[in-house]
């Protein structure tokens, strides 16, 4: 018998076993409850009476009801509707049967949903009566007892993750974790002292396991550590640094680059290292970068898994000097990185360059070299379409091998790559975006229309008009360039957003050019599902019938917007420096 056949037989026998423990009448009862909950109630009183009766029955049920696969969704929904008293009673059931429920994978989502109720009621302190306060204390005591039984557990990732989040007051679960029926899975609150103490104890217990490193190496504990570090980062940075240092020491990552490369070559190990990088102090990060990553950046960049870690390294650069070190190591290898399709690394470099205000012109020039459009100078105007479509000059212009002349003079712009778009958007925010601006202004109206009507390409043009480093003169030139295709852009789902952006960002002179062009296509715009919104935004009808009135309206609107911006940008008097 094959492994696959054995698995099928095993799952069928498990299903029959559960069916023996839970009769059909019980299953149908809870399925009817699910239908009733979906249909809703006439009033809150009816709902409370219904739930009261349901929970009385649920508290009496055999533990196998909680483990029945057909009942998981309705039980998740019911646990979210529990009162403090009902949560406490169900937690008692959970406490008495923790081991059995943990062994059954299907019931873990019900467990997690119930555990989240502890966080739900713990953050409602100001609204509670004295009686409710006593019930909350009882609920917390049982919850803490459950936590004690989970200390040192790294196998039951989902349940331990939930418990740690509830203890830390930083709940951020996904619908996948607790089922699609639970509505609230993300919130923060101030946990009681006992919770924080237990949280630290659980972390200590996990990091004290003798075989923790071995289990990390075999992917058993890496997921738990991936969840622990971000929680510690929010709750106690000092403790976070202590545990990160302990992890790096026991894993020998700071001593052996091979150990580091081995860990980040694995999917879970790579994700864990990203969290370490994001959550560590500047001191630890610098040590990690210097000892394990420096002079190995290219090998990380071209690795199918480790390249994600390199992204985090670049984004985490502490200062200009550190980033310049990273950039120096990678700048000559942009074409190799692009060949491996690891475009997020280039995006990270561009964003870090923008934030730290360094290496901006160098980055653009090396990018142009990677796309073979820096030299000769006549190719520089083609930079945007090449980066947008991620094609080298020779590929984009279909040049034959050995030929100096392109087969096509002005190819039609195809689909814009999302990463190419993100990089271009960042380059437009650089201190001097001249290469991108010049290339955009040299594009034909047809290709600009194609870019504007593309989901990713439209974002580039939006940034062009929003950017504070693109001059008003260049923005005006772009409006002129777009005139003959403006009506097509206005009648497109993506393009219409660009017209909206232009309308918000441009002065009256350019607005007049836009509305004058759109007025020639009044009927088309007013009848199009997207064009009609632009027709209304730009007050095309008013312009057609009374230009003077339209001008006065736009002037008034512009003055109000300017005044509002001045109010927003006004310095806070509280932040003024005190006199010495």
| Percentages (nearest 5) of helix, strand, coil residues in the chain | 75, 0, 25
Concatenating the DSSP letter of every residue in 317-335 gives --SHHHHHHHHHHHGGGHH
> Which residue reads 């249909």 in tokens?
39
3 state DSSP class of 305: coil
Asked if residue 297 lies in contact with residue 330, where contact means CB atoms within 8 angstroms, the answer is yes
Which residue, chain included where needed, has tokens 């990690």?
A: 288
pLDDT at residue 430, as a whole number: 98
- Phi/psi for 193 (5° steps) reads -55, -40
Mean pLDDT across the chain, nearest whole number?
87
- One DSSP character per residue, 208-257 reads T-TTHHHHHHTTSSHHHHHHHHHHHHHH-HHHHHHHHHHHHHHTTTTT-H
Which residues lie below 8 Å from residue 462, measured CB to CB, with a gap of 6+?
497, 498, 501
pLDDT tens digits, 185-233: 788 889 999 999 999 999 999 888 776 666 676 565 688 889 999 999 9
In sign, the C-alpha dihedral spanning 39, 43, 48, 54 is negative
Closest CA to 187 of 289, 276, 118, 89: 118
Question: Is residue 172 a contact partner of residue 186, using CB atoms and an 8 Å limit?
Answer: yes
- Report which secondary-structure segment, H or E, holds 171: strand 170-172
For residues 349 and 331, what is the distance between their CA atoms, to the nearest angstrom? 10
For residue 548 the two structure tokens come to: 């003077």
Give me the pLDDT at residue 563, please: 64
375 CB neighbour count, 10 Å cutoff: 10
Question: What pLDDT, on a 0 to 100 scale, did the predictor assign at position 93?
Answer: 86
CB atoms within 10 A of CB 290: 13
pLDDT of residue 220: 54
Which phi and psi angles does 246 have, rounded to 5°? Answer: -65, -45
State the Cα–Cα distance between residues 361 and 383, nearest whole angstrom.
14
Q: Distance between CA 109 and CA 120 in Å, rounded?
A: 16
The structure tokens 């399709």 sit at 341
By the 10 Å C-beta count (0-12 exposed, 13-18 middle, 19+ buried), 210 is classed as exposed
Question: Residue 254: which of 294, 216, 209 has the closest Cα?
Answer: 294
pLDDT digits (tens, 9 = 90+) for 88-117: 988 998 888 888 888 777 778 888 889 999
Question: What is the 3 state secondary structure string of 390-454?
Answer: CCCHHHHCCCCCCCCCCCCCCCCCCCCCHHHHHHHHHHCCCCCCHHHHHHHHHCCHHHHHHHHCC
Cα–Cα distance measured from residue 541 to residue 526, given in angstroms and rounded to the nearest whole number = 9
SS3 112: helix
Residue 188: phi and psi, rounded to 5, are -125, 150
Handedness of CA 265, 267, 271, 276 (dihedral sign): negative
H/E stretch holding 180 reads: none
Q: CA 219 → CA 213, 223, 265, 271, 277, distances in Å?
A: 10, 7, 12, 11, 19
CA torsion angle 338 341 342 344 (round to 10): 90
Tokens of 521: 């296509």
Task: Give me the half-sphere count of Cα atoms (radius 13 Å) on the Cβ side of residue 400.
Answer: 3
Intervals of the chain under pLDDT 50:
1, 3-19, 576-580
DSSP state of 187: E
Q: What is the CA radius of gyration of the chain?
A: 30
Q: How far apart are CA 120 and CA 143, in angstroms?
A: 13
Q: Is the pTM of this model over 0.75?
A: yes
- ∠ CA 7-8-14, nearest 5°, is 90
Query: Is 407:336 a contact under the CB 8 Å cutoff?
Result: no
């Amino acid at each position: 018998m094959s492994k696959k056949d054995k698995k099928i037989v095993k799952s069928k026998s498990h299903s029959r076993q559960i069916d023996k423990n839970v009769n059909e009448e019980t299953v149908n009862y809870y399925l009817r409850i699910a239908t009733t909950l979906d249909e809703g109630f006439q009033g809150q009183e009816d709902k409370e009476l219904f739930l009261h009766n349901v929970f009385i029955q649920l508290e009496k049920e055999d533990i196998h009801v909680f483990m029945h696969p057909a009942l998981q969704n309705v039980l998740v929904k019911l646990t979210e509707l529990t009162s403090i008293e009902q949560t406490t009673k169900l937690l008692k059931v959970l406490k008495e049967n923790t081991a059995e429920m943990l062994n059954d994978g299907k019931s873990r989502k019900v467990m997690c949903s119930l555990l989240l109720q502890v966080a739900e009621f713990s953050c409602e302190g100001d609204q509670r009566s004295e009686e409710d306060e006593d019930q909350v204390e009882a609920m917390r005591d049982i919850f803490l007892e459950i936590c004690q039984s989970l200390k040192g557990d790294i196998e039951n990732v989902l349940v331990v993750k939930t418990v740690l989040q509830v203890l830390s007051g930083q709940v951020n679960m996904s619908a996948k974790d607790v089922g699609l029926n639970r509505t609230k899975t993300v919130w923060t609150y101030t946990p009681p002292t006992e919770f924080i103490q237990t949280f630290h104890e659980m972390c200590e217990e996990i990091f004290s396991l003798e075989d923790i490193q071995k289990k990390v190496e075999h992917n058993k504990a890496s997921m738990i550590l991936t969840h622990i570090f971000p929680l510690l980062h929010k709750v106690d940075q000092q403790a976070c640094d202590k545990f990160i240092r302990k992890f790096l020491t026991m894993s020998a990552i700071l001593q052996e680059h091979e150990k580091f490369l081995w860990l980040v070559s694995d999917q879970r190990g790579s994700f864990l290292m990203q969290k370490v990088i994001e959550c560590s102090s500047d001191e630890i990060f610098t040590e990690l970068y210097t000892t394990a990553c420096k002079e190995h950046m290219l090998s990380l960049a071209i690795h199918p898994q480790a390249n994600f870690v390199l992204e985090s390294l670049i984004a985490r650069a502490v200062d200009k000097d550190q980033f310049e070190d990273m950039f120096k190591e990678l700048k000559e290898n942009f074409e190799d990185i692009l060949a491996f399709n690891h475009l997020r690394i280039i995006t990270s470099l561009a964003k870090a360059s923008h934030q730290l205000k360094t290496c901006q012109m160098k980055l653009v020039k090396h990018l142009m070299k990677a796309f073979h459009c820096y030299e000769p100078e006549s190719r520089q105007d083609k930079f945007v379409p090449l980066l947008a479509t991620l094609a080298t000059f020779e590929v984009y212009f279909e040049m034959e091998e050995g030929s100096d002349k392109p087969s096509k003079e002005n190819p039609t712009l195809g689909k814009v790559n999302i990463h190419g778009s993100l990089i271009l958007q960042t380059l437009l925010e650089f201190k001097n975006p001249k290469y991108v601006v010049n290339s955009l202004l040299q594009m034909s109206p047809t290709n600009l229309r194609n870019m504007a009507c593309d989901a990713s390409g439209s974002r580039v043009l939006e940034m062009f008009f929003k950017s504070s480093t693109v001059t008003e003169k260049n923005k005006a030139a772009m409006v002129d360039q777009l005139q003959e295709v403006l009506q097509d852009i206005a009648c497109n789902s993506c393009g219409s957003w660009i017209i909206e952006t232009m309308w918000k960002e441009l002065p009256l002179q350019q607005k007049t050019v836009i509305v004058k062009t759109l007025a020639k296509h009044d009927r088309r715009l007013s009848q199009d599902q997207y064009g009609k919104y632009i027709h209304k935004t730009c007050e095309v009808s008013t312009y057609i019938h009374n230009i003077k009135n339209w001008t006065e309206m736009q002037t008034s609107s512009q003055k109000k917007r300017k005044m509002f911006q001045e109010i927003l940008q006004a310095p806070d008097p509280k932040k003024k420096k005190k006199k010495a």
